Structure 1
Amino acid sequence: MPDLDESERDGLDLSRRKLRAPRIAIVHEWLQVNAGSERVLEQLLLCFPDADLFATVDFMSPKERAFLKGRKVTTTFIQKLPGAKRLFRHYLGLMPMAIEQLDVSAYDIVISSNHAVAKGVLTGPDQVHVSYVHSPMRYIWDLQHQYLRQAGLGWSLKAIYVRWLFNKMRLWDFASAQHVDHFIANSRYIARRVKKAYARDASVIHPPVDVTDFTIGRQKGDFYLLAGRFVPYKRADLVVSAFQADPGRKLVVVGDGPEAAKVRAAAKGASNIEFRGSVPKSELIDLMQGARAAIFAAEEDFGIAMVEVQACGTPVIAFGKGGALDIIETAEEACPTGILFDDQSVESIKDALARFDAMAADIAPETCRANALRFSEERFRDRMRSFVQDMAGAEV
């Protein structure tokens, strides 16, 4: 073979790789419960059925791992550390090293599903690394101070250690982000967080939402719906307080969590507020279908529940930051599907309810559902497959 210059050799290598199907590795954070990021993982495995799967640990139960379809998972040394099954998150300081020990050198394309360390997997110059970011690590970046306050960590010896660890994690997190070829964020809000934390641009592909069971109901009721887990950032107490001050409106509250007592206390025994606790999925769907509107006061990274409500043909009243800006079409749009409010406050929620009264007749159930279908699983798979093919320059 005649001598080739560097560009010609690179072109020849690329041509050879195109003669076979690219080998793909998917790197997930950890497998413990089947939650939001696992929905994304399930769809990635459907997009790329021949891909091999890697994770820091795998402690998912047989019942919840059905979506893996018997797929072998390659894990790190953390899998075998003492107490890892219950306390693997306590090994956060070891996770950067652990993820770097996963050997993905045999693959042409690496796709990481990242909200902690997965994007830190090591790749070479001839590999394409696409990282789907659910969120940069909130607790080490912009929400560090909030996390420390909620954990009661002031300046004790333990608190000083945690602050030192977070500092080290930030340095590693930024450095590892520079080795990713292409970032995808699950919302425009997360794309801005990627830019702020990593100084990198990110394309936006919204996460997949299974809207199959969430359909338009037969008839709307006269109640509003508040549903979700009662944790501090959800601000469910604000919604309850707004209805406690407005006895003419009925609120049905569904959910449970560490702030349940605080949320119930905000009602002050008001007769227009009904607490249902945790309910089966079928009952929740019935409530979503029958509600006049559903209310969300949290600043969400995306907000899958908002999409599910819209799929039921129900308007959404939501705090106007985070993922809600990608989901809700407002009065400024041709076909509105809900209302956004500016502040996480009782007064702002009451104002949003009044504005909703004025425009509720302009929001059609069919418009809400059509809006939700923008986030279907099929659409996610199509967009992910096209993105990876474009970035890798090969059919996948």
Structure 2
Amino acid sequence: MKIAIIHEWLDSYAGSERVVEQMLACFPEADLYALCDFLPDSQRGFLGGKVPTTSFIQRLPFAQKMFRNYLQFMPLAIEQFDLQGYDLVISSSHAVAKGVITGPGTKHVSYVHSPMRYAWDLQHQYLRQAGLTRGLKGLYTRWLLHKLRGWDQLSAARPDVILGNSRYIAERIRKVWRREAEVLHPPVNLQGFPLSTAPRTHFVVAGRQVPYKRVELVAEAFARMPELKLVIAGDGPSAPLVAAAAKGAPNIEIRGRVPQAELVSLVQGARAFVFAAEEDFGIAMVEAQACGTPLIVYGRGGARDIVAEGTTGLFFEEQSADAIVAAVRDFVAREAAFTPEACHAQAQQFSIPEFRRKLLEVVSRDQAPPLPAFMTAEAT
């Protein structure tokens, strides 16, 4: 088979690139395409020496630092890749990659990290944060997003199979594209997060401190529960807000950014991992469960796929300190029900081998379209 893997852009080794890494592991003979490639040499290892074929965006002025500013050209650019002769195309899409044009003899499987939120349900939030609610620039951006939505919905008909990275994303795909998506959770490297059955002494929240993570709500909640110790690991632009919410409470320890080994140790020693963000999936939650650590998390987004409620964790249903306090107290009352072994077992369904197995199963499946009803045996 002749195979192509399509990714939007390559500028860092992050979440979506880890998915591409496993696609390449499944299909090492595949050709790689990307709108642009500005990966630093230190992060190119996952490509296995492949040099991707890039689009004209690679050569536009100031593209290395400003390629996202060329969003208006990306639908055109992705359609210019010549994919004649390929038997299989796999796209890794969070913007336009699913819009590649393939012929009738090519099977196209699109792994969708998320439809473009800034063009759909988060448009108004994006415009506010970018200061584009008024003026000519704001008007142009609204027009651009309007045009982009039309292309996005039209091009959603092109893949033969759409895979969403969680049930939450599958629901968004159904809402904005009117397509049904199978769920294939992203691969999580669990080897660095081994099961621990050592005594657990504290609660932990960890990760980059940015506004949508709502770490300040966790700090505010534990400031009201002086009998319970909380360790906060990570940094970011919301760090001052988090520190203010902690109010100097002696039961809250703010460590900032910590080395990976220390982070794993903190999670392994935690009574529970507390997470207040709404994520499309949520790799940090899977890593915590792999350590045998239960989860107390906001019950929206990918968390619904990750947590077995009552067995490996609990949900709170609103992003507020009051809701977190109630969930933590409920957890403490039922703590014996959450075993490290159950948490560890739950995490295994999100492992790298599971991702590879399921992806290979999908691409090898016969995807011939169903016959119209009047041509079936039942109709006769």
Q: 2:240 aligned with 1:265, yes or no? A: no
The residue aligned with 1:342 is 317
The residue aligned with 1:16 is none
The residue aligned with 2:87 is 108
- CA–CA separation in structure 2 for the residues paired with 1:253 and 1:172: 43
- CA–CA separation in structure 2 for the residues paired with 1:36 and 1:302: 10
For residues 147-296 of structure 1, what are the structure 2 equivalents within 5 Å? 147-296=126-275
SS of the aligned residue for 1:298 comes to coil
- Please tell me whether the aligned partners of residues 234 and 298 of structure 1 are also in contact (alpha carbons under 8 angstroms): yes
- CA–CA separation in structure 1 for the residues paired with 2:130 and 2:248: 30
Q: Please report the TM-score for the alignment, with normalisation by the length of structure 2.
A: 0.95
Cα distance, 1:218 vs. partner? 4.8
Letter of the aligned partner of 2:130 in structure 1?
A: A
SS of the aligned residue for 1:169 comes to helix
The residue aligned with 1:67 is 46
- Please tell me whether the aligned partners of residues 160 and 367 of structure 2 are also in contact (alpha carbons under 8 angstroms): no
- CA–CA separation in structure 2 for the residues paired with 1:310 and 1:218: 12
- CA–CA separation in structure 2 for the residues paired with 1:62 and 1:345: 42
- Please tell me whether the aligned partners of residues 293 and 315 of structure 1 are also in contact (alpha carbons under 8 angstroms): yes
Which ranges in structure 2 are unaligned for 5 or more consecutive residues?
369-380
2:331 paired residue among 349, 356, 370? 356
- CA–CA separation in structure 2 for the residues paired with 1:67 and 1:392: 30
- CA–CA separation in structure 1 for the residues paired with 2:243 and 2:55: 43
SS of the aligned residue for 2:293 comes to coil
- Please tell me whether the aligned partners of residues 197 and 292 of structure 2 are also in contact (alpha carbons under 8 angstroms): no
Cα distance, 1:29 vs. partner? 1.0
- Please tell me whether the aligned partners of residues 11 and 40 of structure 2 are also in contact (alpha carbons under 8 angstroms): yes
SS of the aligned residue for 2:365 comes to helix
Cα distance, 1:267 vs. partner? 1.1
- Please tell me whether the aligned partners of residues 197 and 340 of structure 2 are also in contact (alpha carbons under 8 angstroms): no
Cα distance, 1:145 vs. partner? 1.2
The residue aligned with 1:4 is none
The residue aligned with 1:123 is 102
- CA–CA separation in structure 2 for the residues paired with 1:97 and 1:229: 34
Cα distance, 1:216 vs. partner? 1.8
Letter of the aligned partner of 1:363 in structure 2?
A: F
Letter of the aligned partner of 2:20 in structure 1?
A: L
Q: Segments of 4+ in structure 1 off by > 6 A?
A: none
- CA–CA separation in structure 1 for the residues paired with 2:167 and 2:196: 31
- CA–CA separation in structure 2 for the residues paired with 1:309 and 1:292: 11
SS of the aligned residue for 1:307 comes to helix
Q: 2:349 aligned with 1:370, yes or no? A: no
Cα distance, 1:392 vs. partner? 5.3
Letter of the aligned partner of 1:167 in structure 2?
A: H
The residue aligned with 1:19 is none
Cα distance, 1:257 vs. partner? 1.3
Cα distance, 1:352 vs. partner? 0.3
Q: 2:72 aligned with 1:85, yes or no? A: no
SS of the aligned residue for 1:384 comes to helix
- CA–CA separation in structure 2 for the residues paired with 1:230 and 1:146: 19
Q: 2:362 aligned with 1:387, yes or no? A: yes
Cα distance, 1:264 vs. partner? 1.3
Letter of the aligned partner of 1:70 in structure 2?
A: G
Letter of the aligned partner of 1:165 in structure 2?
A: L
Which digits, 9 at most, give the CA deviation of each residue in 1:128-162, with x for residues without a partner? 11100000011111111111222232212211111
Cα distance, 1:221 vs. partner? 3.0
Q: 2:11 aligned with 1:32, yes or no? A: yes
- CA–CA separation in structure 2 for the residues paired with 1:40 and 1:251: 32
SS of the aligned residue for 2:327 comes to helix
- CA–CA separation in structure 1 for the residues paired with 2:126 and 2:218: 23
- CA–CA separation in structure 1 for the residues paired with 2:161 and 2:101: 14
- Please tell me whether the aligned partners of residues 132 and 183 of structure 1 are also in contact (alpha carbons under 8 angstroms): yes
Which digits, 9 at most, give the CA deviation of each residue in 1:319-367, with x for residues without a partner? 0011000000112xxxx00111111111110110011012110111111
Letter of the aligned partner of 1:113 in structure 2?
A: S
- CA–CA separation in structure 1 for the residues paired with 2:207 and 2:29: 36
Q: Please report the TM-score for the alignment, with normalisation by the length of structure 1.
A: 0.91
Cα distance, 1:391 vs. partner? 4.0
Which digits, 9 at most, give the CA deviation of each residue in 1:159-182, with x for residues without a partner? 111111111111111111111111
